[in-house]
Amino acid sequence: MKKLIETIKNIWKIEELRSRILTTLGFLLIYRLGSFVALPGIDPQQLDALQNQTADGLLGLLNMFTGGAFSQASIMALGIMPYISASIVIQLMTMAVPYLQKLQKDGESGRTKISQITRYLTVVITCFQAPGYIANLKATLPPEAFLLSSGSFWFSSIIILVTGTLFAMWLGEKITDRGIGNGISLLIMVGIIAVLPQAFLFEVGRANPLVILVELLILLVVIFASVLLVQGVRRIPIQYAKRGATAQASAARQYLPLKVNASGVMPIIFAQAIMFIPITFAGLSESESVQNFVTTFSDFSGFWYNFAFALLIILFTYFYTAITVNTNQMADDLKRNGGFVPGVKPGKDTATFLDGVMSRIVLPGSVFLAVIAILPAFAMNAGINQSFSQFFGGTSLLIMVGVVLDTLQQIEGYLLNRHYDGLMKSGRLTGRSGM
């Protein structure tokens, strides 16, 4: 406890770090306040039907990512999710579009242009999602909930929802630039955490204390396992050839760290986006077979939904790792700097060796990721309500663990640069820079 208090004092002594933390908290507070402001023309007292609709199922999952703004018909109802969707599309297009590939290789200027393209695509996606959200409001809420004429409500609400998403995107970018941590990830994490107290209190009210204690212990175990998944690495020993005055230092054996989960939480987000497709097209056909298919793959706790979800996560883990970990470049960098893996020839053989190692460690990592992702279904089948069961795994838990570790890593960097002790007595925190 004394060590913690001393660390907090040291954090407060660093003026730049103190300013960044306060700026981050201020922007997060603005984002949370916006989630409670209802769309003009809607009676906030008439939202019971919408809240019942988002109490479970896939819409409940969407509501969790927006911190409850989706069920409150808020100006931030769509949250930052359109920006996440745009980012996923741009990353996929980077593999197929030569222009985006060139921008990716152009360094900072290229990344700036890609960010601008992502913003424009966010506007397009939000313009498609906003009418869908309003149509759902019209179909769900009673007529007396709407205080404006239909035309005025549609026009004003679309403009406000698009503006709300752009404002959330702006807040996230400002947090990244002027605050601490990755802004977009922090906005998602804050939304997830905002739902936790209500879900926990509801679970406490319906279960006896012993069951609650067991649930919390299981949750702690899952969090510990998630930390291991986020921080796990496989170290490949490497050596450097002796060169001139630095021979003694360069001849020392070092290690090349390869992450067990190099793709982070992106495979889950990719897979989740695909699993949202059935509910998106649910109303386009009245065929009984189509409706049965939609019902089966919209059952958040059902076998086929979770089987397909886990399989997609494993496939996307291999896919995303292949585009983020360039073993050929790693082998070229080692060869250029006089490094080599003992027993493996530099160059092409080293690239083949690293690719084989990555293929072997990605399999258990992807399976572990899939298991954690479908744990909420096991919790729901065990009798835990969906709102609280979301914190037993899945995207929510991995996002929280990854974002917290990344933020703590940045804080520790500031402390160590000012010659203070880090957040841990031994070792270094290993975070994940964003999503």
Per-position pLDDT tens, the chain of length 435: 677 777 778 778 888 888 899 999 999 999 999 888 889 988 888 888 887 877 766 677 777 778 788 888 899 888 888 888 888 788 778 877 888 888 877 777 888 898 899 999 999 989 988 888 888 888 888 888 888 888 888 999 999 999 999 999 999 989 988 888 888 888 888 888 887 777 666 666 666 677 777 777 777 777 777 666 666 666 677 766 655 444 444 444 577 777 777 777 778 777 877 777 666 555 555 667 766 776 777 777 778 888 888 898 888 888 888 777 778 888 888 888 777 788 888 888 888 888 888 888 888 888 888 888 888 888 777 777 666 777 666 667 777 777 887 788 888 888 877 766 555 554 455 544 444
What was the pLDDT predicted at 362?
84
Domain co-membership, 71 together with 175: yes
Domain boundary among 166, 195, 224: 195
Domain co-membership, 225 together with 356: yes
What does the DSSP assignment read for 225-271?
HHHHHHH-EEEEEEEE---GGGHHHHTS-EEEEEETTTTTTHHHHHH
Domain co-membership, 240 together with 352: yes
Distance CA 250, CA 297 (A): 56
Distance CA 20, CA 142 (A): 45
Asked if residue 2 belongs to a domain, the reply is no
Q: How many residues does the structure list for the chain?
A: 435
Asked if residue 1 belongs to a domain, the reply is no
What was the pLDDT predicted at 150?
83
Distance CA 382, CA 235 (A): 39
What was the pLDDT predicted at 174?
92
Asked if residue 225 belongs to a domain, the reply is yes
Q: What is the amino acid identity at position 114?
A: I
Domain boundary among 169, 195, 221: 195
Distance CA 155, CA 131 (A): 9
The maximal CA–CA distance of the chain, rounded, in angstroms, is 83
Domain co-membership, 186 together with 313: no
340 sits in which H/E element: strand 339-340
Domain co-membership, 157 together with 302: no
Asked if residue 365 belongs to a domain, the reply is yes
CB 72 within 8 A of CB 44: yes
Asked if residue 52 belongs to a domain, the reply is yes
Domain co-membership, 228 together with 256: yes
Domain co-membership, 223 together with 363: yes
Domain co-membership, 261 together with 390: yes
Asked if residue 387 belongs to a domain, the reply is yes
* Number of independent structural domains in the chain: 2
Compute φ and ψ for 254, nearest 5 degrees: -125, 180
Distance CA 357, CA 85 (A): 31
What was the pLDDT predicted at 197?
73
User: Could you tell me the CATH number of the domain that includes residue 429?
Assistant: 1.10.3370.10
Domain boundary among 195, 216, 247: 195
Domain co-membership, 185 together with 216: no
What was the pLDDT predicted at 248?
43
Distance CA 183, CA 27 (A): 9
Domain co-membership, 262 together with 357: yes
Domain co-membership, 250 together with 190: no
| Helix axis angle, 183-206 to 15-34, nearest 10° | 60
**Residue 44's domain spans which residues?**
14-195
Asked if residue 39 belongs to a domain, the reply is yes
Q: Which residues lie below 8 Å from residue 380, measured CB to CB, with a gap of 6+? A: 300, 301, 386, 389
Domain co-membership, 134 together with 164: yes
